Amino acid sequence: MHPIRDNADMTTPAPTRYFIGLMSGTSLDGVDGVLCQINDHGDVQVVQHVHEAFHPRTREVAYTLNQAGHNELHLAAQLGTQLAHDYSAVCRQLLQAHDLSASAVCAIGAHGQTVRHQPEAASTLAGDASVGYSVQVNHPALLAEHTGIDVIADFRARDLAAGGQGAPLVPAFHRGVFGRAGVDVAVLNIGGIANASVLAGNGGLAGCDTGPGNVLLDLWAQQHLGTPFDTDGAWGGSGRVVPALLAHFLNDPFFQHNQARQPSSTGRDDFNATWLHKTLTAFPAVEALEAVDVQATLGALTAQSAATQVRHLLQHLHTTSTEPAQLLVCGGGAYNQQLMQLLQQALPQTHVTTTDTVGLPVLQVEAAAFAWLAWCFVTHRSGNAIQATGAKGPRILGALYPK
């Protein structure tokens, strides 16, 4: 795994400290936690990983909060408390597995559960026309109380305050871990929503959300298979992509405008069950569609939108390449063999593989990124890549909840 470096003196070994990173993403499947050693140069080494699945009721409430509804504040408070309990359990498992005490950990980076992402929302009150926001339900004070460890949370607010989208936050981490001098590399995280980072061989960096990752695939599988997701993409892989339906999906304004502007971000606010139902209903030949072919086409939507955006990011960086030399896929979507095949077809000149092949397993990447962002906060370093978020400048991200 390539280390993260800053401009510190590299002539002597740097002391290491332990950090924990916690991530529960838009797939709503559960919590990934990692225990990392991070030295003063920013080199990251994951030494332990734990995944804890959400209780069905937790998943249900998190999903409900993605849409306007009754008693939202009460549900959000309940979810935040439950997350603190779930996060605490993951932290205990990490410490026990590595035989560490809480006092050995410098800080926990806890992202929280994104339930709304509206970076360009317009105000209904007097004043500024834009009140862009991103809501991550969390209870970092309770997490600090339960673990006895400092907690860094609320990572997106500072970037938003500086005029950014607050997303994606992982490109700076990707650059340090996966960047290669002289080689264009792209990193695609496929969670519920997919985001891409392009790490140009000349040091350039660009990133954005590309659109739906697993979210629509999971919704369709739940509706037609009665399972949380399509295991390994086997069902979708047995269907056929319907070109007219794919074109219909890609006619959505997000895809039409995404290439024309940087940065861009999205979430379940845009791509959800309502979007899927409305878009399918508007397709002229919807009655003739087989469910398995819809699943195959939704996979093609994820792959095609990601590949198109990766190419656009390369153009944005003014590289001479039309495709990256390598696409490293992480997140739960990396296990979907149909998606991996479709990505390879969409980027024929690119070697498509997973982050496992370069030393960081696919389910550890985002949690490790938030451990690193906690390290950035503690060491007073900026954590946002302004080329990806659009903020006015580098900012230290997060807020401290002391133990």
The candidate with the shortest Cα–Cα distance to 314, out of 189, 183, 155, is 183
DSSP secondary structure of 27-87: T-SEEEEEEEEEETT--EEEEEEEEEEPPHHHHHHHHHTTS--TTHHHHHHHHHHHHHHHH
238-244: which pairs have CB atoms within 8 A and are 24 or more residues apart? 238/292, 238/296, 239/290, 239/292, 239/293, 239/294, 239/295, 239/296, 239/297, 240/293, 240/296, 241/293, 241/296, 241/297, 241/299, 241/300, 242/289, 242/293, 242/294, 242/296, 242/297, 244/283, 244/285
Q: Which CATH number is correct for 171-358, 3.30.420.40, 3.30.70.260, 1.10.760.10, 3.20.20.100?
A: 3.30.420.40
Residue with tokens 């153009």: 315
Distance from CA of residue 56 to its chain's centroid? 21
Distances (CA, A) of 292 to 108, 238, 299: 42, 7, 11
Delimit the CATH 3.30.420.40 region(s) of the chain. 16-165+364-401, 171-358
Predicted local distance difference test score (pLDDT) of residue 127: 66
Predicted local distance difference test score (pLDDT) of residue 9: 44
Predicted local distance difference test score (pLDDT) of residue 7: 39
Predicted local distance difference test score (pLDDT) of residue 340: 98
CB atoms within 10 A of CB 225: 15
**Consecutive 10-residue averages of pLDDT for the chain (403 residues):** 43 78 90 96 94 94 89 95 98 97 98 90 73 92 98 96 92 92 96 94 91 96 95 97 97 78 76 95 94 98 96 89 96 96 98 96 97 97 92 97 97
C-alpha triplet 268, 46, 106: angle, nearest 5°: 90
Q: Which CATH number is correct for 16-165+364-401, 3.30.420.40, 3.30.460.40, 3.40.50.720, 3.30.230.10?
A: 3.30.420.40
